[in-house]
Amino acid sequence: MSEIIYGIHAVKALLERDPQRFLEVFILKGRDDRRLQPLIAELEATGIVIQVANRQWLDDKVEGAVHQGIVARVREGRQYQENDLPGLLESVDTPFLLVLDGVTDPHNLGACLRSADAAGVHAVIVPRDRSAQLNATAKKVACGAAETCR
């Protein structure tokens, strides 16, 4: 299966961490700025094919969210589960965990992930029920931290 990610930081973080997950990348036709061009060059150097799309098409793909002129379709990443926690706890001397409860908005989840990454958290624990999902919005707001936190 695949998922959509968008935004310069989210795409760059995944490219640095797991480039083989990319299936296709779309950039906004006519967008030529100093933040996007180096990322495009990195994507192309990795062999990832980039396609040009109009604003309406990109907006539709991300349901009107702010995509910064770049949208990628990628293979789904690994979702860690409860049974992965013992291995994580054994792999670090002093585990640093963030446990969330009641975070139902994907924007807030993304902000929590961004803060967790900045603080050096090893894993973020989120309940299955009544919690925000790690979707494209949360990943965009996380500015790449969704790819570094477990």
Are 88 and 108 in the same domain? yes
Return the pLDDT at 44.
96
pLDDT of residue 64: 86
Q: Would the pTM of this model clear 0.85, i.e. be above it?
A: no
Residue 137: phi and psi, rounded to 5, are -65, -50
What residue numbers bound the domain in which 63 lies?
2-75
pLDDT of residue 12: 95
pLDDT digit string (tens) for 51-94?
999 999 999 999 988 999 999 999 998 888 889 989 988 999 99
Contact between 121 and 98 under an 8 Å Cβ cutoff? The reply is yes
Q: Domain holding 28: CATH number?
A: 3.30.1330.30
- Do 86 and 138 lie in one domain? The reply is yes
Looking at the structure, tell me whether residues 63 and 91 fall in a common domain. Answer: no
For 131-147, what is each residue's pLDDT tens digit?
A: 999 988 998 898 888 88
Residues near 94 by beta carbon (within 8 Å), at least 6 away in sequence: none
Task: Encode pLDDT of 95-129 as tens digits.
Answer: 999 999 999 999 999 999 999 999 999 999 999 89
Q: Residue 150 pLDDT > 80, yes or no?
A: no
Q: What is the CATH number of the domain that holds 119?
A: 3.40.1280.10
DSSP 46-95: TT--EEEE-HHHHHHHTTT---TTEEEEEEPPPPP-GGGHHHHHHHSSS-
**Does residue 36 carry a pLDDT above 90?**
yes
Give the pLDDT score at 149.
76
